[in-house]
Amino acid sequence: MKTQVAIIGSGPSGLLLSQLLNRVGIDTVILERSSRDHVLARIRAGILEWGTVELLREAGAGARLDAEGITHDGTFMTDSDLMVHIDFKDLTGKQVMVYGQTEVTQDLFEAQDRMGTTIIHNVEDVAIHDLDTTSPRVDYTVAGERRSLSCDWVAGCDGFHGVSRKTIPAEKRREFERVYPFGWLGILARTAPIDHELIYANSEHGFALASMRNANLVRHYIQVPLTDKPDEWSDERFGPSSAAAFRPVLRPR
Ligand SMILES: Cc1cc2nc3c(=O)[nH]c(=O)nc-3n(C[C@H](O)[C@H](O)[C@H](O)COP(=O)(O)OP(=O)(O)OC[C@H]3O[C@@H](n4cnc5c(N)ncnc54)[C@H](O)[C@@H]3O)c2cc1C
């Protein structure tokens, strides 16, 4: 098989890149390690910055986002007893949009289906060859059969743990990483948000974020030791008593 741009990974970056290239007449093939169902079931981002919102619209994948997304003018920050509001719209003229990554990915898959793009799922053992030439090649296995994709360019959109980053020679690779000595536990709960905007909190217990996906679905994060396991966090530990204890004071702006 041959294409202009071989894209590895069908997360938001691979799908959006493919969509933007297809719209200006550049041919792509996407190779994805997982099934479409698996990609669509991954719960990750929920807040889109305005540049992303505008890019999705420009890519022809913004209709549902505009119909169902919730715009926020700003966010709250608190350090236990004080809460301040940062008004993005007032300060920068821009807002943010609450719209789940799963929804973004679904919209992009559907946009790519309309374009007729070839997306090959469940590929294994992806290997990039001749990357420093004008005719690189990506080999992969699907349904037990080894195949080859010739191209002009390879776009590695397969994340930190993918094959692309490792294929870039060490002397040419530049990595930017900050490692924190704690983890975040993310909780998705079918309940109304505690406020109409997000609250980023710092306290003696560490970081916490009260985020949301929609008017009936919240996404909360709390700081935990790296050794904690999800089953150590029972529903009772997130009970109403801890929510009731959270009553910060809004400092006048
Ligand atoms: C819990 C959490 C919350 C987040 N919240 C936010 C937020 O609120 N706002 C925000 O902007 N960002 C947020 N992010 C970050 C955001 O999710 C990532 O920036 C985004 O997923 C990156 O997209 P991507 O397409 O580059 O990579 P990914 O989404 O990781 O996609 C990479 C794809 O490549 C595939 N792949 C990997 N290896 C191979 C291989 N060898 N061969 C073929 N395919 C392969 C994977 O299966 C995957 O589908 C959050 C992330 C997490 C984990």
Tens-digit pLDDT profile for residues 159-169: 999 999 999 98
Choose which residue among 30, 36, 39, 44 to substitute to test ligand 1 binding: the one with the highest number of ligand atoms within 8 A of its C-beta.
44
Say yes or no to pLDDT of 154 above 80: yes
3-35 residue pLDDT tens: 999 999 999 999 999 999 999 999 999 999 999
Q: What pLDDT was estimated at residue 19?
A: 98
220 membership: H or E segment, kind and range: strand 217-224
Cβ of 162 closer than 6 Å to ligand 1, yes or no, is: yes
Say yes or no to pLDDT of 50 above 90: yes
How many C-beta atoms lie closer than 10 Å to residue 107's C-beta? 21
What is the number of the ligand 1 atom nearest to the C-alpha of 221?
Answer: 1
pLDDT class of 80 with cuts at 50, 70, 90:
confident
Question: What is the share, in percent, of the chain residues with pLDDT greater than 90?
Answer: 79
- Cα 40 to ligand 1 centroid, rounded to whole Å: 11
Q: What pLDDT was estimated at residue 43?
A: 83
- Cα 106 to ligand 1 centroid, rounded to whole Å: 14
Tokens representing residue 88 in the block: 């993005």
User: How far is residue 69's CA from residue 60's CA, in Å, rounded to a whole number?
Assistant: 16
User: How far is residue 97's CA from residue 85's CA, in Å, rounded to a whole number?
Assistant: 17
Say yes or no to pLDDT of 207 above 60: yes
pLDDT class of 240 with cuts at 50, 70, 90:
low
Homologous superfamily, domain 5-45+100-167: FAD/NAD(P)-binding domain (3.50.50.60)
Longest dimension (CA), the chain: 65
Cβ of 158 closer than 6 Å to ligand 1, yes or no, is: yes
What is the number of the ligand 1 atom nearest to the C-alpha of 124?
Answer: 42
Q: What is the mean pLDDT of residues 46-59?
A: 96
Q: Is 85 exposed, middle or buried (CB count within 10 Å of its CB: 0-12, 13-18, 19+)?
A: middle
Q: Do 183-250 and 5-45+100-167 have the same topology in CATH?
A: no
Q: What is the pTM of this model?
A: 0.90
Q: What is the mean pLDDT of residues 74-89?
A: 91
Q: Is the dihedral of CA 181, 235, 221, 164 positive or negative?
A: positive
Cβ of 46 closer than 6 Å to ligand 1, yes or no, is: yes
- Cα 109 to ligand 1 centroid, rounded to whole Å: 15
User: How far is residue 52's CA from residue 18's CA, in Å, rounded to a whole number?
Assistant: 15
Average per-residue pLDDT in the chain? Answer: 92
| Nearest partner of 10 among 139, 125, 107, 137, judged by Cα | 107
What is the number of the ligand 1 atom nearest to the C-alpha of 164?
Answer: 41
Cβ of 123 closer than 6 Å to ligand 1, yes or no, is: yes
| Nearest partner of 61 among 25, 22, 110, 116, judged by Cα | 110
User: Which overall architecture, per CATH, does domain 183-250 show?
Assistant: 2-Layer Sandwich (3.30)
Tokens representing residue 133 in the block: 């030439």
Q: What is the mean pLDDT of residues 85-105?
A: 96
Domain residue spans of the chain? 5-45+100-167, 183-250
Q: What pLDDT was estimated at residue 250?
A: 54
- The residue assigned the tokens 């109403």 is 240
Backbone φ and ψ for 195, nearest 5 degrees, come out as: -150, 170
103-117 residue pLDDT tens: 999 999 999 999 999
Q: What pLDDT was estimated at residue 215?
A: 87
Instruction: Tally the C-alpha atoms within 13 A of residue 249's C-alpha that lie toward its C-beta.
Output: 4
* Closest C-alpha to ligand 1, atom 53: 44
Q: Say which residues have a Cβ less than 8 Å from residue 82's Cβ, sequence separation at least 6.
A: 248, 249, 251
